[in-house]
């Protein structure tokens, strides 16, 4: 399998776009097997090659840096694009089919069984839970993709018996022309509008997860999501509609506290679980369906679900400090994620919101907050400051996380919750949502300071 991939690269004019973690992973794989082949590397950062000693010693590379690093892409046979690089506004027609990713090449050249999961929210939790389910049933499995592990770092470990669970982002799907054996589409909400020309383009990128499946494949999708319902008309794969709302003609649905798979009850929703809230129950329904499709031991699957703990920064319980319950949902970078987190906790007294402005519509969130019983809304830049102008609640406008947590400690009622759920991206203020959540947790756990009255 690896030989087929290397033959694909051999004697081709290859450019690696973006030299972060995935770009470096691509370079190292190609250079491991093709020691003398010329590789082009392009990155927006000027003179980026000076940061890497292994590039300085490589005489068979040509580096392109600066603002014009995306010029003349039509000159290359293979364009290995790092997912985070946006092609919005570029005319890619002349080289569209040359744009590749590690994810696509894994699906194309490795004859292994793959389960791909995408969605605006929930894909990390669902992917990790599926991986744990397979592992607990002694199945040879790997978890790769957007979860933080470059695919090419592990291709040498893949064998014919491996079942690979892939968390796939819209950026990875955008130019893909191949789909996994089992495709999962959890939901689609407006997101990453700074990366795409339109929400429609973003939603269509998500649909590539099932677009290239064949009749022997399986496709599971959320039929309750209006955007998905409009986009999913016909599929070559056997499709399974998943409905938390109990929609008619669904293969996986809830009826009287029971999850049904093809008219058979398989799971009681009142069973103990650490994954709280309706949106996590929706994720669980997909996992249960895959368990049934693969013919796994249902009792073992339910045990895995019961024991699985939320991933970091996903409605993570930080702790009880001075009789206040603190939760970190820094992954909540869209309005719907923040709304669902508030509904799940049901006792939020203080909410911390705000982040980078990506042109999202906050009308629904503003209405929800104004009608809620949340006592304090702490608003960070930039979106938080804009939202604050339209809120009728008790609002605090701050510039830093230090200010936000300081106020939260003073104003949150005892036995109530303080929730960080930004409803916006962290970029521009933090490296990512993890950095934002980590700072929040550090400040929450810090010894209290003596504050002046508000």
| pLDDT recorded at residue 453 | 55
* Region for 295 from its dihedrals, namely left if φ exceeds 0, alpha if ψ lies in -120 to 50, beta otherwise: left
For the cut 90, the answer to whether the pLDDT of residue 390 exceeds it is yes
Domains of the chain: 2-100 (3.40.50.720), 103-307 (3.40.1190.10), 316-445 (3.90.190.20)
| pLDDT recorded at residue 449 | 64
Residue 114, number of CB atoms within 10 A of its CB: 24
In the three-class reduction of DSSP (H, G, I as helix; E, B as strand; rest coil), residue 221 is classed as strand
Average pLDDT over every residue of 91-105: 96
- Preceding amide of 382 cis, omega within 30: yes
| pLDDT recorded at residue 331 | 92
Q: How far apart are CA 339 and CA 397, in angstroms?
A: 20
Residue 348, number of CB atoms within 10 A of its CB: 24
**Closest by Cα among 175, 174, 180 to 116:** 180
pTM of the shown model: 0.89
Asked if 424 and 383 count as a contact pair (C-beta separation under 8 A), the reply is yes
Name 62's bridge partners.
40
Q: With the C-alpha atoms ordered 68, 72, 76, 80, is the resulting torsion angle positive or negative?
A: positive
Report helix angle 123-136 to 298-307, nearest 10: 130
| pLDDT recorded at residue 321 | 96
Q: How far apart are CA 95 and CA 15, in angstroms?
A: 12
DSSP state of 73: G
pLDDT bin (cut points 50, 70, 90) of residue 89 is confident
Average pLDDT over every residue of 312-333: 95
DSSP state of 345: H
| pLDDT recorded at residue 450 | 59
**Element at 419 (helix H, strand E):** strand 417-420
For the cut 90, the answer to whether the pLDDT of residue 447 exceeds it is no
For the cut 70, the answer to whether the pLDDT of residue 83 exceeds it is yes
**What tens digit of pLDDT does each residue of 114-123 get?**
999 999 999 9
pLDDT bin (cut points 50, 70, 90) of residue 28 is very high
Asked if 193 and 361 count as a contact pair (C-beta separation under 8 A), the reply is no
For the cut 80, the answer to whether the pLDDT of residue 194 exceeds it is no
Task: Name the residue with higher pLDDT: 166 or 450.
Answer: 166
Average pLDDT over every residue of 179-196: 90
**What tens digit of pLDDT does each residue of 252-311 get?**
999 999 999 999 999 999 999 999 999 999 999 999 999 999 999 999 999 999 999 988
DSSP state of 427: B
| pLDDT recorded at residue 350 | 98
| pLDDT recorded at residue 15 | 98
pLDDT-above-70 percentage for the chain: 98
Backbone angles phi, psi at 147, to 5 degrees: -65, -10
Asked if 133 and 172 count as a contact pair (C-beta separation under 8 A), the reply is no
Range from 74-88, 147-161, 207-221 carrying the lowest mean pLDDT: 147-161
| pLDDT recorded at residue 448 | 67
**What tens digit of pLDDT does each residue of 350-389 get?**
999 999 998 889 999 999 999 999 999 999 999 999 999 9
Q: Reading across the β-sheet that carries 258-261, which strands appear in turn?
A: 141-145, 163-167, 113-118, 182-185, 218-222, 238-243, 252-255, 258-261, 264-268
| pLDDT recorded at residue 195 | 81
For the cut 90, the answer to whether the pLDDT of residue 197 exceeds it is no
Asked if 252 and 285 count as a contact pair (C-beta separation under 8 A), the reply is yes
| pLDDT recorded at residue 233 | 85
Q: How far apart are CA 372 and CA 35, in angstroms?
A: 61
| pLDDT recorded at residue 205 | 94
For the cut 60, the answer to whether the pLDDT of residue 63 exceeds it is yes
């Amino acid at each position: 399998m690896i030989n087929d991939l290397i033959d694909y690269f051999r004697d081709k004019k290859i450019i690696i776009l973006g030299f972060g973690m995935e770009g470096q992973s691509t370079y190292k794989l190609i250079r491991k097997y093709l020691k003398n082949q010329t590789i082009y590397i392009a990155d927006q950062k000027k003179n980026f090659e000076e940061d890497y000693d292994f590039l300085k010693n490589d005489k068979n590379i040509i580096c392109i840096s600066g603002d014009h690093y995306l010029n003349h892409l039509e000159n290359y046979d293979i364009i290995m694009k790092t997912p985070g690089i946006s092609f919005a506004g570029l005319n890619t027609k002349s080289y569209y089919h040359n744009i590749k990713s590690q994810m696509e090449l894994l699906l194309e050249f490795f004859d292994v069984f793959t389960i791909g999961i995408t969605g605006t929210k929930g894909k990390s939790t669902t992917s990790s839970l599926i991986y744990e389910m397979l592992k607990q049933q002694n199945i040879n499995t790997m978890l790769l993709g957007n979860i933080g592990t470059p695919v090419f770092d592990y291709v040498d470990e893949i064998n014919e018996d491996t079942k690979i669970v892939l968390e796939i982002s819209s950026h990875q799907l955008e130019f893909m022309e191949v789909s996994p054996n089992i495709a999962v589409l959890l939901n689609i909400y407006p997101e990453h509008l700074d990366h795409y020309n339109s929400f429609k383009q973003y939603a269509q990128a998500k649909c590539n997860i099932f677009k290239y499946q064949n009749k022997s494949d399986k496709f599971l999708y959320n039929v309750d999501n209006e955007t998905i319902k409009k986009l999913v008309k016909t599929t070559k794969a056997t499709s399974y509609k998943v409905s938390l709302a109990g929609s008619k003609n669904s293969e996986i649905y809830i009826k009287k506290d029971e999850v049904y798979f093809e008219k058979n009850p398989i799971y009681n929703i009142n069973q103990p679980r650490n994954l709280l809230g309706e949106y996590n129950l929706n994720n669980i329904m997909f996992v249960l369906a895959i368990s049934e499709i693969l013919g796994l031991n249902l009792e073992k699957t339910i045990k895995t679900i019961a024991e699985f703990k939320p991933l970091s920064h996903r409605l993570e319980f930080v702790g009880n400090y001075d009789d206040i319950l603190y939760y970190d949902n820094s992954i909540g970078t869209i309005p719907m994620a923040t709304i669902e987190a508030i509904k799940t906790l049901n006792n939020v007294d203080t909410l911390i919101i705000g982040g980078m402005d990506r042109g999202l519509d906050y009308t629904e969130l503003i209405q929800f907050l104004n009608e809620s019983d949340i006592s304090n809304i702490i608003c960070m830049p930039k979106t938080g400051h804009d939202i604050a102008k339209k809120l009728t609640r008790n609002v605090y406008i701050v510039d830093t996380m230090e200010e936000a947590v300081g106020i939260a400690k003073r104003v949150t009622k005892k036995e109530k919750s303080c929730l960080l759920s930004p409803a916006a991206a962290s970029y521009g203020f933090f490296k990512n949502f993890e950095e934002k959540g980590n700072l929040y947790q550090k400040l929450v756990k810090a010894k209290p300071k003596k504050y002046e009255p508000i």
